[in-house]
Amino acid sequence: MIRICSAEDVPKGSVVSADIDGLKIAIVHGEDGAFYAVYDECSHAAVALSEGEVEGCTLECWLHGSRFDLRTGEPTGLPATEPVPVYPVEIRDGDIYIPVGADGRPMPSNGVTR
């Protein structure tokens, strides 16, 4: 497990970007109150999803409006047609953690790799 930040650093409806061993991850506090972690790059255009807008359990890319389900990584709005990796998140003692493999990198829970 690797500590990312305090849960207080990510207010509901907001996103922060984290770098885990060179892998950019967007940490999202969904409007449902849950925390999510997704690969911080749109599968349609190589732009940071962490700069997008949270709506319900989706994250919208600011450039072309692609939307991704934070639970599955699946696109829910065009022009993206490919999912993005999502990662498990644990909250412990008010801090956000993401599990990492033996190589020190997060392992996607949806099987999508980048």
Model confidence pLDDT, tens digit, residues 22-75: 999 999 999 999 999 999 999 999 899 999 999 999 999 999 999 999 999 999
So what's the pLDDT on residue 20? 94
Q: What is the mean pLDDT of residues 9-22?
A: 95
pTM: predicted TM-score of the whole model, two decimal places: 0.94
| Range 49-58 contact pairs with CB under 8 angstroms and sequence separation of 24 or more | 49/15, 49/84, 50/15, 50/16, 50/17, 50/24, 50/26, 51/15, 52/15, 54/13, 54/14, 54/15, 54/28, 54/29, 54/30, 55/31, 56/30, 56/31, 56/32, 57/30, 57/31, 57/32
Q: Note the pLDDT tens digit of each residue in 71-90.
A: 999 999 899 999 999 999 99
So what's the pLDDT on residue 38? 98
